[in-house]
Amino acid sequence: MRFTHIYVEERAFAYPLTEQILTKLPDAHVIKIRHYKDVFDRKRQDAPAQKEHQALIIAVRDGNRIFKGAPVCQSMGQKNFYYASSMMNCPFDCEYCYLKGMYPSSNMVVFVNLEGYGSDVEEKLKEGPMYVCASYDTDLLAMNPLTGHADFWKEMALTHDNLLVELRTKAAVQVTDNIPNIIYAFTVSPEDVVGRFEKFTAPVSARISAAAKAIANGAKVRLCFDPIIKIPEWKEAYERLVSECAEQIDFNKLTDVSVGTFRISADYLNKMRRAYPGSATAWYPYVIKDGVAQYEPETDKEMQEFVCALLEKHIGREKIFTWN
């Protein structure tokens, strides 16, 4: 990990996870702070510059930790769909990422009071089975060697049968377990999209091969063709991508597939445009529908249907989940 500066909330020093993280970054400069918002929510931050020298903020999360799934997220057919926010921001730097419009800072926040997340989940489980996307506002698997948050969710899944957890990633992580109620969701994009828009992520060939190995280990694996990005030769690019996946992955053994064209809340898009005036993805002339910015309806439909048709050659339609 490339963090050279770590801000630590005073009260976070009392948590063993703080010590574990600091031990793994012995050369980093540690700065004690009162509250993470004093640093993270400061006005007039240069978020693009921060991404080049990302700082880590270690904090304790008060208030809501588990949230009802947002309309732009896919529930994958699950009832009681929630997402957890145990980290804010991501070690990767995707140009299209909604986090750029959501947060005023590019620094990463890691919350260390994981037992609070555990008790929140247990409280909600009293109402019935639940599905938690644990890696929405970050990439927990990429960060796991430093923070152990993915391990925490695996432990939660192991000890709570009625909890289903999705861990989504753009890393080529080695999956060595096959916990039945953990879904490893590998996002795959054409090489052109990865090269142009998904800075610091693993090459797509490495993600596909990691997904294939995870399946061979008996793990539940989801492939996410989401977001589909409109690059000039998008049809050929997605044809190549699906072929590459099918060459290495036995689609019959996939849990399911998710497909979704790029979309972002109009409010986040406005903030993203202000912070990134040179971003091609931010400045595309999207159509705003119900507060969500998306491609023109015909293009959006064409892209989604095209990718679904490619996938239907390898997997049943009932296992393909789309956003709208």
For ligand SF4, the binding residues (CB under 6 A) are 90, 92-94, 97, 99, 138-139, 170
In this structure, what is the dihedral angle of CA atoms 85, 89, 91, 95, given to the nearest 10 degrees? Answer: 130
Nearer to ligand SF4 (CB atom), residue 8 or residue 204: 204
Q: How far is the CB of 86 from ligand SF4 (least distance, A)?
A: 13
Q: How far is the CB of 316 from ligand SF4 (least distance, A)?
A: 27
Q: How far is the CB of 76 from ligand SF4 (least distance, A)?
A: 17
Q: How far is CA 121 from CA 77, 216, 324, in A?
A: 20, 30, 28
> Could you tell me how far CA 208 lies from the centroid of its own chain?
17
Q: How far is the CB of 214 from ligand SF4 (least distance, A)?
A: 18
Q: Are the CB atoms for 283 and 273 separated by under 8 Å?
A: yes
Q: Is 290 left (phi over 0), alpha (psi -120 to 50) or beta?
A: left
Q: What three-state secondary structure class fits 31?
A: strand
Q: How far is the CB of 125 from ligand SF4 (least distance, A)?
A: 26
Nearer to ligand SF4 (CB atom), residue 105 or residue 138: 138
Residue 9: closest CA among 25, 22, 24:
22
Long-range CB contacts (within 8 A, 24+) of 277-285: 279/95, 280/95, 281/95, 281/96, 281/197, 281/229, 282/95, 282/96, 282/100, 284/230
Tell me the HSE value of 258 on the side-chain side, using a 13 A CA sphere: 24
Nearer to ligand SF4 (CB atom), residue 8 or residue 229: 229
Nearer to ligand SF4 (CB atom), residue 19 or residue 46: 46
Nearer to ligand SF4 (CB atom), residue 113 or residue 169: 169
CA distance 26 to 110: 17
Q: How far is the CB of 169 from ligand SF4 (least distance, A)?
A: 8
CA distance 267 to 110: 25
CA distance 321 to 181: 19
Tokens for 313, please give them.
């050659």
Nearer to ligand SF4 (CB atom), residue 15 or residue 40: 40
Nearer to ligand SF4 (CB atom), residue 86 or residue 138: 138
Amino acid, single-letter form, for residue 229:
I
Q: How far is the CB of 168 from ligand SF4 (least distance, A)?
A: 8
Q: How far is the CB of 210 from ligand SF4 (least distance, A)?
A: 15
Nearer to ligand SF4 (CB atom), residue 8 or residue 257: 257
